[in-house]
Amino acid sequence: MNMPRRRSLTVARSRQRGLSTLLIAILLLAIVTIITIFAARFGIFEQRMSANDYRYKMVFQAGEAGLNQSMEFIRMNTAEMLSTAGTGWLAPGDPRWQPCTSALPAAMELDPCLAEPDEGRREEMYRYVGNAASDEDGILPVAELMPELGDDDDVEEFQAGYTSYATLCRLDISIPTAPRCALNPVSEDTFYVTVVSRGTLPNENAAATIRQSFGTFRTIGSAPDAPLIAAGAVVGLGNAEIVPNPNPNNTNNPLSVWSKAGVDVDDGSGGTGSFASCHLEEWLSTGTPESYTDGVCADCTCSKLEFGYGLISGHKGGSKFEGEDILDVDGHASEATPSLRDSKYFPPDLFQYIFSVPSIDTTEDDEFLASNATAITNCSAASFPSGGLYYYDGAGGDCDLESAGTIDDPVVLVSEAKVVATGKPQFFGIIFVRSPGGAGAELLKLNGGQIYGSVILEGTGKMGGSPSLIYNRAVLQALRNSPNFLRYGPIPGSWSDSLE
């Protein structure tokens, strides 16, 4: 009678255990489902974040590329972007730079002037608006100058691109301790450019805008103050003719020869010689009008002039005169009637005076030449295919000079040997002779020819032959603004970006 009851209890307990197992299984399945859903949602979120980060990196890199390529474009067009003549970017007829105070062109998508937070400074800046003839709409024409991708290089998705805009601040440094932006500065060759580059992804809601300002510095410092500068005494000028700087440092006093010691207007050998210096206008007046342009004249001379009538210094017949254009300490005896001027402010380091790099008790000058100059083995015309900085170490003997440079593309030659010329070269730029060569040694001897710019002699000055040294402002200005001598550097703290 007890057996059936025990079997019934056993079956009931078995059914309870089965139900508990089912409930536990359902609970575990629910937990796993929740975990799976959470993991899936988290994975999708991570994927979206990763995709957004990927898009941001692409547009950021596109913006960076636009920034770098735009600065290279501006560097290569520096001369044009500051020019007010012809097709220059500041030419009155169709300027590519227009003041930020002017109305924003309707075609421009982004106003780069707004990247300048200082409203007062912004009012004295320019924005690049492009050329009306080419309808550039204010976008720097950089992307179109880049080589196009071929079919094999195309990326099927996410082809990032960029557009770049720019502003210009022309610095007025009349007060060196307080430079400021100015629409019409006193000095026109110092400036900084701000580039605003916007990277985008077509058909994607992603964009990055990057801004950075770049200032300029030059491998050539300020223009030389005289057509002939010598660290030692100038013991002979031979038959040289010199056209002075008419207004060095706004002194309204002409300067032909600047020496740390004395200047002898004789030829240095007891002979008569025929050195002469005269103003540019009088020098040009002696030539035929068709023979000169932009201060360059093949047949002009000072020798046709008289003292008091165009001739400033030199010897004419038996008369010798050391005029106001000779700046020295008169430490060298001269038979000429002197007009004393004090050269106590002569630069102690001529290399630093020209290149802003010290050369005394340092190797910085050699490092500068190694990094920036093109080494040449001789001074033939083939050695100067274009403007720029060239260095002759003197290993091949004298530097036998031939014609080099132009008004718009001048040359700077640094020579460790005496510079000579058997022909009649025309040289546009600066000749810097480093070798002292011993007391009284000739550092320059041209049997004719013309040098438009300046000659710098680190040692004793002694010239022979009949060179003409003409201080030409156009040459020296082109030299300072030439891309060959111009470097751009980022202004600290000017970089910023934003993600859209």
pLDDT digits (tens, 9 = 90+) for 400-458: 999 999 998 899 999 999 999 888 899 999 999 997 655 557 788 888 889 999 999 98
The dihedral built from the CA positions of residue 195, 201, 202 and 207, taken in this order, carries a sign that is: negative
Q: How confident is the model at residue 153 (pLDDT cuts 50, 70, 90)?
A: very low
pLDDT at residue 12, rounded to an integer: 58
CB 451 within 8 A of CB 432: no
Contacts of 79 (CB under 8 A, 6+ apart): 408, 478, 481, 482, 483
Task: Kindly tell me if the per-residue pLDDT of 136 is higher than 90.
Answer: no
> Which pLDDT does position 80 carry in this prediction?
79
Q: What is the pLDDT of residue 185?
A: 85
| pLDDT higher than threshold 90 for residue 88 | no
237-255 mean pLDDT = 87
CA–CA distance, 96 with 92 (Å, rounded to integer): 9
422 and 400 in contact (C-beta within 8 Å)? yes
One-letter identity of residue 385: P
How buried is 115 (Cβ within 10 angstroms: 0-12 exposed, 13-18 middle, 19+ buried)?
A: buried
For residue 2, name the pLDDT band (cuts at 50, 70, 90): low
What's the mean pLDDT in 275-301? 83
Most confident of 52-61, 301-310, 334-343, 382-391: 382-391
Query: Which position has the higher pLDDT, 62 or 154?
Result: 62
Helix, strand or coil, per DSSP, at residue 450 = strand
What's the pLDDT at 277?
92
Q: How far is CA 9 from CA 1, 6, 19, 351, in A?
A: 14, 5, 16, 113
Based on the number of CB atoms within 10 Å of its own CB, is 440 exposed (0-12), middle (13-18) or buried (19 or more)?
middle
Of 16-20, 87-91, 469-473, minimum mean pLDDT range = 16-20
Residue 382 DSSP code:
G
CA dihedral sign, ordered 32, 38, 43, 44: positive
Cα 172 from Cα 187, distance rounded (Å): 6
Per-range mean pLDDT, top range of 20-24, 201-205, 298-302, 377-381: 377-381
69-90: average pLDDT: 82
* Model confidence at 6: pLDDT above 60: no
What confidence score (pLDDT) does residue 384 get?
93
The owner of tokens 């026109």 is 188
Q: What is the pTM of this model?
A: 0.66
In the predicted structure, residue 48 carries a pLDDT above the cut 70 = no
- pLDDT category at 472 given cuts 50, 70, 90 is very high
Average pLDDT score over residue span 467-480: 89
pLDDT at 143 exceeding the cut of 80: no
Point out the least confidently predicted range of 8-22, 46-60, 375-389: 8-22
* Contact criterion met (CB below 8 Å) for 479 and 429: yes
Average pLDDT value over all residues in the chain: 82
pLDDT band at residue 483, thresholds of 50, 70 and 90? confident
- Position 332 pLDDT exceeds 60: no
Q: Is the pLDDT of residue 479 over 80?
A: yes
Q: Are strands 388-392 and 419-421 parallel, antiparallel or unpaired?
A: unpaired
CA distances from 115 to 67, 244, 258 (A): 14, 45, 47
Res 154: pLDDT: 43
Given a cut of 70, whether residue 158 has pLDDT beyond it is no
pLDDT 10s digits, 177-211:
788 999 988 766 678 999 999 998 877 778 889 99
pLDDT at 42 over 80: no
Q: State the pLDDT at residue 152.
A: 44
Predicted confidence at residue 188, as pLDDT, reads 62
Q: Comparing 384 with 333, which gets the higher pLDDT?
A: 384
| Pairwise pLDDT comparison (344 vs 493), residue with the higher score | 493
First to last CA, the chain: 87
Name the more confident of 312 and 309: 312
> Residue range 298-313: average pLDDT?
83
